[in-house]
């Protein structure tokens, strides 16, 4: 009997594994294996009441998120303990059917739908018309890791097709905050049946550690999800941190400019070494035959990236400081030269 899952779950940020594999002490690594903004939101000290009191759903947290994301109102927003919690729970709340998921995307989706009894099939997002056999579809927009980006009208067309079949379109917008075209978000459309949008402050705001996220959908579905997840899903300290980030428009505007510039810088460095690159402001992805060799060569120099072995590709996040940029640029040039020398022997 083969116990290997059909869709294995893998994530970046696994520095302890890197340290063990390459025998480089943990503290000496430069971790570029996630797409989390290294310039995280500067959270102010947590008020004492946030530690002592139970989280209160009447604190306006959902309404704050509704305003920031552009949802119709607070009844269409459910705070959760990171979008990860919703990814695990939502498939069981949808009618069991055939769900289309891109072969290379966030790796939690396919196993979650399979566990709930759905049939998962590969989704080709290059076509305007979805297959007739498809009932549900999951779109990560922009996609992690390929950086593929679908416009709002394309998404709405897909939603209309699925809705006519009694199905659901789930759009994961975890990386949307940093994108230059926020109008592509479907947050304002979640009053429509069969549409779910997930948002996360973990990526753009660099607050992955607070484990907070939001599900945007019709109130009836959110009520069912709330019952499934139970009370107090988002802690008081997390609510404090995320609330401050969502209302700080000056920080948001400045950071969008900064990560856009740094994302272009990262992509340019990779292209200068003749790597194929697709990118968002927070990460670059290279679907290159040399990807595995690049990942290994950088790792021997204490730089950890995210390797996708089945697709021969690698994802690289943003360095945090000028020293980190210099270290990465040197290591990238050395690694590319090493790979090219090996290939020509």
Alpha carbon distance 101, 94 (integer Å): 15
Token pair of 138 as six digits: 């999951």
Residue 295 resides in a domain: yes
pLDDT at residue 345, rounded to an integer = 42
Are 225 and 326 in the same domain?
no
Are 202 and 266 in the same domain?
no
Are 334 and 212 in the same domain?
no
Are 144 and 34 in the same domain?
no
Are 233 and 266 in the same domain?
no
Are 137 and 237 in the same domain?
yes
Residue 82 resides in a domain: yes
Are 279 and 320 in the same domain?
yes
Single out the residue in 199, 220, 247 at which a domain terminates. Answer: 247
Q: How many domains does the chain have?
A: 2
Residue 276 resides in a domain: yes
Range of the domain at 328: 15-40+250-339
Are 115 and 211 in the same domain?
yes
Residue 325 resides in a domain: yes
Peptide bond into 304 cis (omega under 30): no
| Element containing residue 138 per DSSP (H, E) | strand 136-140
Contacts 24+ apart (CB under 8 A), 12-19: 12/304, 12/306, 12/315, 12/317, 15/304, 18/299, 18/304
Single out the residue in 219, 247, 275 at which a domain terminates. Answer: 247
Residue 49 resides in a domain: no
Classify residue 22 by burial, with Cβ atoms within 10 Å: 0-12, 13-18, 19+: middle
Buried b (16+ CB within 10 A) or exposed e, 267-295: bebbeebebebbbbbbbbbbbbebbbbbb
Classify residue 58 by burial, with Cβ atoms within 10 Å: 0-12, 13-18, 19+: exposed
From 220, 291, 210, 205, select the one nearest 251 (Cα to Cα).
Answer: 205
pLDDT at residue 2, rounded to an integer = 39
Single out the residue in 247, 262, 297 at which a domain terminates. Answer: 247
Are 221 and 300 in the same domain?
no
Are 187 and 170 in the same domain?
yes
Are 242 and 261 in the same domain?
no
Residue 203 resides in a domain: yes
CATH, residue 284: 3.90.1150.10
pLDDT in tens, the chain (345 residues): 334 445 555 655 688 999 999 999 999 999 999 999 999 999 999 999 999 999 988 999 999 999 999 999 999 999 999 999 999 999 999 999 999 999 999 999 999 999 999 999 999 988 889 999 999 999 999 999 999 999 999 999 999 999 999 999 999 999 999 987 656 899 999 999 999 999 999 999 999 999 999 999 999 999 999 999 999 999 999 999 999 999 999 999 999 999 999 999 999 999 999 999 999 999 999 999 999 999 999 999 999 999 998 789 999 999 999 999 999 999 999 999 999 776 544
Residue 45 resides in a domain: no
Are 242 and 292 in the same domain?
no
Beta bridge partners of 98: 119
Asked if 7 and 110 touch (Cβ cutoff 8 Å), the reply is yes
Per-residue CA distances from 101 to 16, 35, 82, 149 (Å):
30, 20, 20, 15
Residue 286 resides in a domain: yes
Residue with tokens 């790792």: 299
Peptide bond into 219 cis (omega under 30): no
From 208, 215, 237, 219, select the one nearest 88 (Cα to Cα).
Answer: 215
pLDDT at residue 13, rounded to an integer = 61
């Amino acid at each position: 009997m083969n116990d290997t899952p059909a869709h294995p779950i893998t994530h970046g940020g696994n520095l302890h594994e890197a340290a063990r594999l390459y025998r480089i002490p943990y503290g000496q690594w430069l971790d570029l294996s996630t797409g989390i903004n290294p310039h995280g939101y500067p959270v102010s000290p947590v008020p004492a009441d946030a530690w002592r009191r139970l989280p209160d759903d009447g604190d306006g947290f959902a309404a704050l998120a509704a305003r920031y994301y552009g949802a119709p109102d607070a009844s269409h927003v459910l705070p959760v303990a990171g979008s990860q919690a919703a990814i695990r729970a939502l498939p069981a709340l949808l009618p069991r059917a055939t769900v289309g998921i891109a072969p290379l995307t966030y790796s939690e989706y396919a196993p979650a739908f399979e566990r709930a009894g759905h049939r998962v099939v590969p989704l080709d997002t290059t076509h305007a018309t979805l297959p007739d056999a498809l009932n549900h579809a999951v779109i990560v927009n922009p996609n992690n890791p390929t950086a593929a980006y679908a416009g709002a009208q394309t998404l709405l067309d897909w939603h209309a097709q699925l809705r006519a079949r009694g199905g659901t379109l789930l759009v994961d917008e975890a990386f949307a905050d940093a994108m230059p075209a926020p109008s592509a978000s479907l947050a304002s459309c979640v009053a429509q049946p069969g549409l779910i949008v997930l948002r996360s402050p973990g990526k753009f705001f660099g607050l992955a550690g607070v484990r907070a996220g939001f599900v945007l959908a019709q109130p009836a579905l959110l009520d069912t999800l709330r019952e499934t997840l139970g009370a107090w899903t988002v802690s008081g300290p997390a609510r404090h941190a995320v609330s401050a980030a969502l209302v700080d428009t000056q920080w948001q505007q400045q950071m969008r400019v900064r990560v856009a510039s740094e994302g272009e810088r990262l992509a340019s460095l990779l292209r200068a070494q003749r790597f194929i690159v697709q990118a968002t402001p927070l990460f670059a992805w290279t679907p290159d035959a040399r990807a595995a060799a690049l990942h290994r060569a950088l790792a021997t120099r204490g730089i950890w990236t995210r390797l996708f072995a089945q697709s021969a590709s690698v994802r690289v996040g943003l360095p945090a400081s000028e020293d980190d940029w210099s270290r990465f640029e040197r290591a990238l040039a050395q690694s590319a030269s090493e790979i090219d020398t090996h290939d020509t022997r």
